[in-house]
Amino acid sequence: MSYHKDNIVVGAGELYLELLDENGTGSGERYLGDALSASLTVSSDRVTVFSGSGAKARILVNTPRSIERSLTMTLHDVSLANLALYFGATASQENTDQTTAVNDETYVVKKGLWYQIGKNATSPKSTGVGAVDPSSVAVTSDANGQNEAYIEGTDYLLDAKNGRFFIVPSGAINDEGTIKVDYTPSGTERHQVKTGDLKDIRASIRYIERPVAGRGRNYYAPLCSLSTSGDLDLMSRDSEQQFQLTAHILEPTGKAALYIDGENA
The structural domains of the chain, with segments of one domain joined by +, span 13-92+194-262, 95-192
Cα atoms in the 13 Å half-sphere on the side-chain side of 218 = 13
- State in Å, rounded, how far the first CA of the chain is from the last one: 26
Tell me if 218 sits within 8 A of 209, measured CB to CB. Answer: yes
Q: What ranges in 223-265 are assigned the alpha helix state H? A: none
CB-count exposure of residue 40 (10 Å: 0-12, 13-18, 19+): middle
CB-count exposure of residue 53 (10 Å: 0-12, 13-18, 19+): exposed
By C-alpha distance, which of 12, 5, 3, 4 is closest to 217?
Answer: 12
Residue pLDDT, tens place only, 66-124: 899 999 999 989 888 899 888 887 666 666 677 889 999 999 999 999 999 988 766 66
**Span 33-41, average pLDDT:** 93
pLDDT of residue 96: 67
- Tell me the Cα Rg of the chain: 29
By C-alpha distance, which of 132, 103, 99 is closest to 120?
Answer: 103
Residue pLDDT, tens place only, 127-159: 888 889 999 999 999 766 667 899 999 999 999
Query: Against a cut of 0.85, is the pTM above it?
Result: no
